[in-house]
């Protein structure tokens, strides 16, 4: 049953980045650096003979290995008529090329940069959707996604460093690109040759760079309109209308192009494999993570005594979003997995074969952290309104979805035998600390309340009605 509306006086508030919060972000960074140091110290034993070979020889060996794997692949398919002969169907042998030890560092740069870049971008998408959908409930917390989306340049630089330094060892096709093989030559790969118009070094750097610049400029425009609205007069809806138009433009551009980034940066790690829902799956894994982070920040701001008009009703809605998109993530995860598992087509199955057989613990842990624990933990209405429950379940979700991205990349780069270790955890904590410091600093730059937004009153009186 809804509550009766009563007048609530809303005044502008200025967020102060407390010494305690600063200390927390610095502790995350220091812990991250310590773990990164431990991880790098442990890399010595993993280096191998790749560095002793000439680059051309290494590239050739990789292409031949891939060719042999495909030959075995086809033979298995023909011999068994697509009937499973072992636990996971016709076999495919993996021949990962020996990699220098520092490949793991650059792969982690790529993963952590991609993860936080996507979180920053989907916060901008969330912001845009609020305008396009004419949503009023979220106006009271709109400064949070506004602050998160300013982080875009930082993870993009981290991502580009990882790609620049590790491209040839992260991507199978980047090795193959340098060989210039013609049909009929030893090691010629028809699949990679067919994809070379998209999977090439120019596209790898140019396409994400152009898109991120476009997205970033639209973000700056929306921020500028928001600031202009704050400095305008009450009742002037011109800035709101302009924000809606630019939000619609961003939503269309981002909606059609974000999948291409996922294909180019993540799916191409397994260059022979593809999935038609992979881009959308990537979007959703970061979407639910961003909503969780937003809930964390709103709960913290409330705890510090700001945004008194933001109530349990708003937290309940954020909790419902966390729950709903956890279920939707599981739907996409299961859809992709079951169709491939059921069809038993080797060229589709290779992706899951190595992850299910050689990374079984990570595979099952991923499903538990991203679905089972959040689903059960957030099922009750009271859980969605309890900031301590949201903090515990949300922390598991964030780590789970970061692990999800790691599982998309590492088996394809290194084959079997890798684990989520100090280096992976350290890189995550280090950039998470930078993220917290950056976002909280961004929150101090503007008033916390969108004082002249036409739907502020609706947000103040928001009531889920139950």
Q: What is the pLDDT of residues 24-76, one digit of tens each?
A: 999 999 999 999 999 999 886 444 433 333 333 333 434 434 444 444 443 33
Mean pLDDT of 147-153: 95
- Encode pLDDT of 231-281 as tens digits: 888 878 899 999 999 999 999 999 999 999 999 999 999 988 888 899 999
Whether 95 has a pLDDT exceeding 90, the answer reads no
pLDDT of residue 365: 95
The pLDDT value recorded for residue 410 is: 93
Question: Is residue 217 scored above 60 in pLDDT?
Answer: yes
- Least Cα distance to 145 among 297, 283, 15 occurs for 297
Mean pLDDT, residues 322-330:
94
Burial of 13 (0-12, 13-18, 19+ CB in 10 A): middle
Q: What pLDDT score does 96 carry?
A: 56
- Can you tell me whether residue 417 is helix, strand or coil? coil
Lowest mean pLDDT among 70-79, 101-110, 116-125, 155-164: 70-79
Q: At what angle do helices 153-170 and 103-132 cross, to 10 degrees?
A: 140
Exposed/middle/buried for residue 465 (C-beta within 10 Å: 0-12, 13-18, 19+): exposed
Neighbours of 437 (CB within 10 A): 18
Q: Which of 313, 324, 315, 316 is nearest to 287 (CA)?
A: 324
CA distance 121 to 116: 9
Contact 144, 435 (CB under 8 A): no
Model pLDDT for residues 156-215, shown as the tens digit of each residue: 999 999 999 988 889 988 888 887 777 878 878 888 888 888 889 899 999 999 999 999
Reading phi first (left if > 0) and then psi (alpha if -120 to 50, else beta), residue 25 is in alpha
Return the pLDDT at 263.
Answer: 92
Is pLDDT larger for residue 58 or for residue 148?
Answer: 148
Alpha-carbon distance 350 to 333, whole Å?
16
Residue 347 clears pLDDT 80, i.e. is over it: no
**Choice among 159-173, 303-317, 363-377 with the minimum mean pLDDT:** 303-317
pLDDT band of 5, cuts 50, 70, 90: low
| CA distances (Å), origin 268, targets 161, 276, 308 | 18, 13, 47
Neighbouring C-beta atoms of residue 82, cutoff 10 Å: 14
The whole-number pLDDT of residue 74 equals 39
d(CA 170, CA 152): 23
pLDDT score, position 44: 64
Q: How many residues does the chain have?
A: 466
Extract long-range pairs of 320-323: CB within 8 Å, 24+ residues apart. Answer: 320/384, 321/288, 321/291, 322/288, 322/291, 322/292, 322/295, 322/374, 322/378, 322/384, 322/390, 322/393, 322/394, 322/397, 323/374, 323/375, 323/378, 323/379, 323/384
Q: What is the mean pLDDT of residues 69-92?
A: 43
- Give the chain's radius of gyration (CA, Å): 24
Query: 186 with 64: CB under 8 angstroms?
Result: yes
Residues 6+ away with beta carbon under 8 Å from 66: 95, 172, 176, 187, 189, 192, 272
Closest by alpha carbon to 443, among 215, 123, 192, 158?
123
Share of the chain above pLDDT 90, in %: 50
The answer on pLDDT for 19 being more than 90 is yes
Output the pLDDT for position 175: 82
What percent of the chain has a predicted confidence (pLDDT) above 70? 86
* For range 366-376, the mean pLDDT: 93
Window from 100-114, 121-135, 229-243 with minimum mean pLDDT: 229-243
Going by C-alpha positions, the residue among 232, 285, 326, 226 that lies closest to residue 408 is 285
> What is the DSSP code string of 159-219?
HHHHHHHHHHHH-HHHHHHTT---TTSTT--HHHHHHTTTSSHHHHHHHHHHHHHHHHHHH
Please tell me the chain's helix, strand, coil percentages from 3-state DSSP, rounded to the nearest 5.
Answer: 75, 0, 25
Least confident of 107-116, 130-139, 422-431: 130-139
Average pLDDT, the chain: 84
Residue whose C-alpha is closest to residue 160's, from 204, 105, 199: 204
Comparing 6-10, 59-63, 158-162, 356-360, which segment has the lowest mean pLDDT? 59-63
- Name which of 343, 340, 291 is nearest 317 in CA terms: 291
The closest of 320, 293, 321 to 147, measured between CA atoms, is 293
């Amino acid at each position: 049953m809804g509550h009766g509306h009563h007048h609530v006086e809303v005044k502008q508030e200025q967020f102060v980045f407390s010494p305690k919060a600063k200390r927390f972000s610095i502790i995350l960074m220091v812990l991250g650096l310590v773990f990164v140091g431990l991880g790098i110290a442990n890399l010595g034993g993993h280096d191998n003979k790749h560095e002793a070979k000439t680059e051309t020889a290494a590239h050739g060996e990789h292409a031949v290995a891939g060719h042999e794997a495909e030959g075995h692949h086809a033979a298995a398919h023909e011999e068994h008529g697509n009937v499973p002969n072992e636990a996971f169907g016709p076999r495919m042998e993996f021949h990962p090329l020996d990699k220098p030890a520092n490949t793991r560092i650059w792969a982690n740069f790529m993963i952590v940069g991609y993860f936080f870049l996507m979180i920053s971008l989907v916060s901008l998408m969330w912001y845009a959707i609020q305008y396009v959908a004419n949503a009023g409930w979220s106006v009271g917390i709109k400064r949070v996604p506004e602050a998160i989306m300013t982080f875009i340049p930082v993870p993009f630089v981290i991502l580009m460093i990882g790609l620049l330094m590790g491209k040839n060892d992260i991507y199978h096709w980047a090795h193959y690109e340098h060989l210039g093989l013609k049909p009929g030559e030893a090691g010629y790969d028809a699949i990679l040759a067919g994809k070379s118009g998209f999977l090439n070094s120019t596209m790898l750097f140019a396409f994400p760079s152009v898109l991120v610049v476009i997205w970033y400029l639209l973000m700056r425009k929306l921020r500028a309109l928001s600031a202009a609205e704050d400095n305008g007069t009450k009742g002037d809806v011109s800035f709101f209308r302009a924000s809606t138009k630019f939000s619609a433009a961003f939503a269309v551009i981002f909606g059609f192009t974000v999948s291409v980034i996922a294909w180019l940066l993540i799916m191409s790690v397994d260059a022979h494999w593809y999935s038609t829902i992979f881009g959308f799956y990537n979007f959703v894994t970061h979407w639910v993570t961003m909503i969780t982070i937003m809930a964390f920040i709103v709960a913290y701001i409330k705890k510090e005594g700001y945004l008194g008009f933001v109530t349990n009703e708003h937290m309940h809605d954020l909790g419902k979003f966390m729950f709903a998109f956890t279920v939707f993530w599981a739907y996409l995860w299961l859809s992709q997995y079951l169709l491939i598992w059921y069809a038993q087509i080797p060229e589709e199955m290779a992706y899951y074969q190595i992850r299910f057989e050689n990374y079984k613990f990570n595979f099952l842990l991923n499903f538990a952290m991203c679905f089972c624990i959040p689903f059960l933990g957030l099922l009750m209405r009271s859980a969605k309104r309890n900031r301590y429950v949201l903090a515990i379940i949300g922390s598991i979700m964030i780590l789970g979805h970061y692990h999800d991205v790691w599982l998309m990349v590492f088996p394809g780069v290194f084959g079997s035998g890798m684990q989520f270790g100090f280096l992976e955890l350290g890189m995550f904590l280090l950039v998470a600390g930078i993220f917290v410091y950056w976002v909280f600093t961004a929150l101090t730059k503007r008033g916390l309340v969108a004082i002249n937004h036409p739907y502020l009153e609706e947000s103040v009186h928001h009531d889920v009605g139950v």
